């Protein structure tokens, strides 16, 4: 493991991911645009931010959704200034793409495949030729160091679109999957609130329950390690032998997606998952 990777892991409390960090660091140092793919909660954003901070690059974040427009990405003219002075440079408000290009920065696009295709297409010239053309403003040429890091969820996630072949061809790809059981246990330990004093068994059971949601036949999308952190913190504040179950009832419903053919409500599905880990203890409503 390189000294840079070890430094990044220690500074940002990243568990594992040495190979992925080394690959990402190499890409960004070479100004190669990077696409990080993986399910929710596996650390895609943490990895991107850690790389940017380590390289001391300006960092501009965009969160993708279907309402995002081309103007938000590139920039727009301020109407009152346009009325007073016309379409001058002083009237132009740069968007995150333009600002990153001008500042030798990293443009981080979270969930790129949630953006409309028209917005994705605006990126192409900046990725390929490091230049964009803005009507009534002119061309913006990126300074050395400009790089795009984007994340995307797997294609089977709801509300995502497929990136075009032309767009994907401009990126290098790193895939992040869920980490090992022991790594997720360590992640929970490192991210618990300072006010939580949880025993080892509770942490391991919460991680086991969370991981089991990813394999349950009635669950299409299981929970990430964030759910395990929430379960431990909530269960630690509860009394009774069924604290883990009650915490799971609170933490998991918003973090799982039931399969289309699931014949039980989410609460019952969660009970089944918990039973498989800790046994059939008394359930409380």
CA dihedral of 217, 222, 225, 227, whole degrees rounded to 10: -100
| Inter-residue contact 149 to 28 (CB < 8 Å) | yes
Structure confidence at residue 160 (pLDDT): 55
Count of residues making up the chain? 285
- Domain check: are 223 and 188 in the same one? yes
Single out the residue in 121, 144, 175 at which a domain terminates.
175
Structure confidence at residue 155 (pLDDT): 65
CA dihedral of 92, 93, 95, 101, whole degrees rounded to 10: 60
- Domain check: are 272 and 148 in the same one? no
One-character DSSP codes across the chain: --HHHHHHHHHHT--S-HHHHHHHHHHHHTT--EEEE--TTSSHHHHHHHHHHHTT--EEEEE--TT--HHHHHEEE-HHHHHHH-S-GGGEEE-HHHHHHHTT-EEEEETGGGS-HHHHHHHHHHHHTSEEEETTTEEEEPPTT-EEEEEE--TTSTT--PPPHHHHTT-EEEE-----HHHHHHHHHHHS-TT----HHHHHHHHHHHHHHTT-TTEEE---HHHHHHHHHHHHT--STTHHHHHHHHHSTTT-EE-TT--S-HHHHHHHHHHHHH-SPPP--
What CATH number has the domain bearing residue 149? 3.40.50.300
Structure confidence at residue 1 (pLDDT): 64
- Domain check: are 254 and 186 in the same one? yes
- Domain check: are 142 and 7 in the same one? yes
Single out the residue in 111, 141, 175 at which a domain terminates.
175
- Tens digits of per-residue pLDDT, 60-114? 999 988 888 899 999 999 999 988 888 888 899 999 999 999 999 999 999 998 8
The Cα 112–Cα 126 span in angstroms is 15
Task: Report how many domains make up the chain.
Answer: 2
- Domain check: are 129 and 190 in the same one? no
- Tens digits of per-residue pLDDT, 221-240? 999 999 999 999 999 989 88
What CATH number has the domain bearing residue 196? 1.10.8.80
**pLDDT band for position 278 (cuts 50, 70, 90):** confident
- Domain check: are 16 and 118 in the same one? yes
Q: At what angle do helices 243-251 and 266-278 cross, to 10 degrees?
A: 140
Residues with Cβ within 8 Å of 13's Cβ and at least 6 positions away in sequence, in order, are: 190, 191
Single out the residue in 154, 175, 196 at which a domain terminates.
175
- Domain check: are 31 and 145 in the same one? yes
- Tens digits of per-residue pLDDT, 15-70? 999 999 999 999 999 999 999 999 988 999 999 999 999 998 999 999 988 888 89
- Domain check: are 190 and 169 in the same one? no
Residue 283 located in a structural domain? no
- Domain check: are 55 and 138 in the same one? yes
Residue 285 located in a structural domain? no
Strand-pairing partners, residue 174, are 36
| Inter-residue contact 106 to 52 (CB < 8 Å) | yes
pTM: 0.85
The Cα 138–Cα 155 span in angstroms is 36
Q: Which domain holds residue 232?
A: 181-278
- Domain check: are 11 and 136 in the same one? yes
- Domain check: are 9 and 140 in the same one? yes
Residue 190 located in a structural domain? yes
Residue 137 located in a structural domain? yes
């Amino acid at each position: 493991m390189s000294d840079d990777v070890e430094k990044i892991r220690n500074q940002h409390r990243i568990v594992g991911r040495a190979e992925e960090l080394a690959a990402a660091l190499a890409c960004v140092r070479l100004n190669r645009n990077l696409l990080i793919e993986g399910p929710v909660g596996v650390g895609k954003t943490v990895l991107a931010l850690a790389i940017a901070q380590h390289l001391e690059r300006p960092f501009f974040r965009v969160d993708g959704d279907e309402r995002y427009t081309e103007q938000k990405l590139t920039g727009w003219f301020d109407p009152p200034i346009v009325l007073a002075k016309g379409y001058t440079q002083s009237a132009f408000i740069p968007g995150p793409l333009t600002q990153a290009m001008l500042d030798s920065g990293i443009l981080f696009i979270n969930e790129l495949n949630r953006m409309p295709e028209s917005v994705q297409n605006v990126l192409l010239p900046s990725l390929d030729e490091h230049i964009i053309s803005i009507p009534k403003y002119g061309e913006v040429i990126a300074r050395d160091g400009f790089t795009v890091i984007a994340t995307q969820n797997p294609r089977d996630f709801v509300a995502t679109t497929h990136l075009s072949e032309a767009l994907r061809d401009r990126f290098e790809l790193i895939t992040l999957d869920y980490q090992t059981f022991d790594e997720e246990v360590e992640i929970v330990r490192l991210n618990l609130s300072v006010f939580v004093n949880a025993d080892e068994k509770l942490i391991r059971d919460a991680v086991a329950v969370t991981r089991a949601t990813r394999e349950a036949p009635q669950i299409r999308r299981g929970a990430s390690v964030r759910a395990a952190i929430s379960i431990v913190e909530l269960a630690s504040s509860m009394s009774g032998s069924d604290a883990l179950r009650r915490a799971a009832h609170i933490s998991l419903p918003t973090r799982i997606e039931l399969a289309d053919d699931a014949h039980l409500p989410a609460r019952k599905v969660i009970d089944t998952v918990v039973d498989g880990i800790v046994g059939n203890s008394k359930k409380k409503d």
